[in-house]
Structure 1
Amino acid sequence: MNAKLRNMTSIYLMKNDKVLLLYRQGGRVVNDVWTGSAGGHFEENELNDAKACVIREMKEELGLNPEDIDGLTLRYVTLRYTKDEIRQNYYFFAELKDNVNDDLKSNEGISKWFPIDEIVGLEMPFTAKYVVKHYYEVGRTTDKAYVGVTTNEGVDFMELSET
């Protein structure tokens, strides 16, 4: 296998049992589907720092700074082989602080708040759809991190434990 590597990150912002999603338009890899609140590709200087990447993307796309959110946590890492690429995605979750205006606009598409129980049925990128489903069913009741690997049936998740 001589696949290229593509590293990407995404953040899901939560507020009052709602999640902010982005209907991404005009992206290089992802178009015309619902994605996390903000996200994108790693810059060269971020290859060993997914958190730096997600903070930069959040600032660029939504105008938010780290002090606008609470509890920024890496919850999922997924691996997928497609189109001669190994795509590694880092999924973060955080709470938008109450004192921050939640009328957020993105320069990458249309931002919209959804009740968390409505997001599972939305059209999303392949691994994101499984991350959201797992988060809704399992992840939101724990503080664990999970790793997901694509299979012919979808994405298999397991808890990422420190050893």
Structure 2
Amino acid sequence: MITLRLISAALLFNARGELLMMKRSMKRTLSPGMWAAVGGHLESFEMARPRAACLREIEEETGIREDEIPGLRLQYILIRLKDQDIRQQFIYVGHTDVSPRIRTSEGDLHWIPRTEILNRELPFIFRYALEHYLSNGDTTHTWIGTAVPGSSGIPEVSWTALQDPEKT
């Protein structure tokens, strides 16, 4: 039976260009011990509102409020099949100079310098999103990334700009 997991996360950068990342607890179900963005699953009342879910997760995991993240915007939608799970992840990008105010049992939060971000153990689809963002930066459109089998047996992500075909 196919199930759907909807996840919303944020790439939060500070003025020094550091990314707020979480070293996930070993007790986490998805990607234990790996490095990830702040975020989590959408609750049933958030199914049509991934930005609201992202803001809720940011506040729950860091104590940082919406008004402290100017310009938070959707940059990526990632889709992958993992066993019988279709995982759809909404990744927002924003900037804040507010440091986390709370501790969470979900993992430890760290500001990671831009040059060290990709030196962490990352879930593969998140690594591809980070590599893409660090190469392309902010764009005026959202990117769709679909996980596909690579030619060498290593998974890859195929990127497409999300556009309204009736307005191009």
Question: Could you say whether these structures have the same fold, taking a TM-score greater than 0.5 normalized by the shorter chain as the test?
Answer: yes
Q: Give the counterpart letter for 1:34 in structure 2.
A: W
- Do the aligned partners of 2:24 and 2:32 also contact (CA within 8 Å) in 1? yes
Which structure 1 residue ranges, 5 or more long, are not aligned? none
- Do the aligned partners of 1:6 and 1:41 also contact (CA within 8 Å) in 2? yes
**What is the total number of aligned residue pairs between the two structures?**
157
Structure with higher Rg: it is 2
The CA distance in 1 between the partners of 2:125 and 2:60, in whole Å, is 23
1:155 to 154, 157, 162: 157
The CA distance in 2 between the partners of 1:103 and 1:63, in whole Å, is 6
Q: What secondary structure sits across from 2:119 in the alignment?
A: coil
Q: Which residue of 2 aligns with 1:123?
A: 121
Q: Give the counterpart letter for 1:145 in structure 2.
A: T
Higher share of residues assigned strand = 1
C-alpha root-mean-square deviation of aligned residues, in Å?
1.4
Q: Which residue of 2 aligns with 1:8?
A: 7
| TM norm structure 2 | 0.87
The CA distance in 2 between the partners of 1:141 and 1:64, in whole Å, is 22
| TM norm structure 1 | 0.90
Which structure 2 residue ranges, 5 or more long, are not aligned? 151-155
Q: Give the counterpart letter for 1:134 in structure 2.
A: H
Q: Which residue of 2 aligns with 1:145?
A: 142
The CA distance in 2 between the partners of 1:104 and 1:125, in whole Å, is 26
The CA distance in 2 between the partners of 1:155 and 1:95, in whole Å, is 25
Q: What secondary structure sits across from 2:72 in the alignment?
A: strand
